[in-house]
Amino acid sequence: METLTPTRLGRFGDYGGRYVPETLMAALEELEAAYEQAKADPIFRAELDALLRDYAGRPTPLYFAQRLSERLGGAKIYLKREDLLHTGAHKINNCLGQGLLAQRMGKQRIIAETGAGQHGVATATICALLGMECVVYMGEEDMRRQELNVYRMRLLGAEVRGVSSGSKTLKDAINEAMRDWVTNVRTTHYLLGSVLGAHPYPTMVRDFHRITGEEIRRQIVEKEGRLPSAVIACVGGGSNAMGAFFDFVRDPQVKLIGVEAGGRSTALGEHAARFSGGSPGVLQGTFSYVLQDEHGQVSLTHSVSAGLDYASVGPEHAAMHDSGRATYTSATDQQALDATVMLARTEGIVPALESAHAVAEAIRLAPTSLSEDIFVVNVSGRGDKDMGILSRELHLDGAAQEQVR
């Protein structure tokens, strides 16, 4: 597999770039310029910081999960509680940033894609807050399995448009959002929800989330007097992971571990583990690892968690994978469900099914780790939205409840 000559425009090593219909180029250039200007503007920063603090609830706690750590033996496990943020996941960080940016650009209409619905809810929330029109594209399969978030978005005043093509999940929602954007580009800002898509999105979205890692550094030094041995985060598109990892990229003693969706099996179509099952390609604006067949057709994916159920991954993760700076592993549907139960019953915390993949990796690693090791697990969201799936998968309807261990 060859790569195109890097132009350095929004490139992470060979990955990234801008692969979009020409119609969108002017909008991407406008967005990039507006973002660069906003980034350098202390007023923008102050406005965003105030909202992150007073509205979203930052900083989030770094919590020592003592009972979980004792149960597993080995490393001390800390949980970064992004699940405690307003709207229930890290996604609000980026939505506040891009919302304010759209306002500065004079765009009154916001569109977004969503998988698990957390990004859709966060987008609908900031649109209500800022008084903007909001349309969210969501695969019909995801609408079915995350229906509570559909109701939340509608309650917040957003229009949720179901997408029935392909696997009816995140990838198909992004295609529809891109089509909307191509058509309405002059009036509309596309509030992309992960470190995906064409430049400047992967960089900008990472920047809006890097506060997570900055807080982890400050908090762990305060509590332990040193940096963690590892930071562990789930990776769908990869926004919560980039946010947690970025501040530690230059600290080689801190292992960065991304956890993908291992799904039901390692067969193509049964998982969303891009680094073990994919190869470099172009999908939806960026050059990165893609689950695809030998002819370049993008594969269907599967994960119990809608937010990880995607055929590609953020290009900066692809670069960190190839350079070895981060390692990428996967947890199966079953491991994620087991991790959800264990965290719920040792700590009284129900993680989102996405975040449960990161918890599963900590559970796997801890027993063979050293007692002086410190793991930080980014609990990127909470599991309230998953109660329907959890009820079915874990038989929480009463009769079989005792079987759950």
- Per this entry, what is the length of the chain? 405
Total number of residues binding another protein (CB under 8 A)? 42
* Calpha distance 381→308 (Å, rounded): 12
Residues 292-321 that bind another protein (CB under 8 A): 292, 294-298
Contact between 290 and another protein per CB under 8 A: yes
**255 belongs to the catalytic site:** no
* Calpha distance 322→68 (Å, rounded): 32
**22 belongs to the catalytic site:** no
Interface segment toward another protein; rule CB under 8 A; list 171-179, 267-275, 319-327, 354-362: 171-179
Please check whether residue 193 is in contact with residue 112, taking contact to mean a CB–CB distance below 8 angstroms. Answer: yes
Nearest distance, CB of residue 204 and another protein, angstroms: 18
The residue annotated as part of the active site, out of 91, 171, 255, 385, is 91
Phi, psi of 401 (to 5 degrees): -60, -35
Nearest distance, CB of residue 213 and another protein, angstroms: 30
* Calpha distance 38→42 (Å, rounded): 8
* Calpha distance 63→389 (Å, rounded): 27
* Calpha distance 66→79 (Å, rounded): 10
Residues 253-282 vs another protein: string with x where CB under 8 A?
Answer: ---------------------------xxx
Nearer to another protein, 183 or 368 (CB): 183
Contact between 5 and another protein per CB under 8 A: yes
Residue from 18, 90, 168, 217 touching another protein (CB under 8 A): that is 18
Residue from 80, 171, 317, 385 touching another protein (CB under 8 A): that is 171
* Residue 169: DSSP 8-state: S
Take residue 192 and report the two structure tokens written for it: 């992309």
Q: What share of the chain is helix, strand, coil (3-state, %, to 5)?
A: 50, 20, 30
| Positions in the binding site for another protein (CB under 8 A) | 1-2, 4-5, 7, 9, 17-27, 165-166, 171, 174-175, 178-179, 182-186, 280-285, 290, 292, 294-298
Catalytic residues: 91, 113, 380
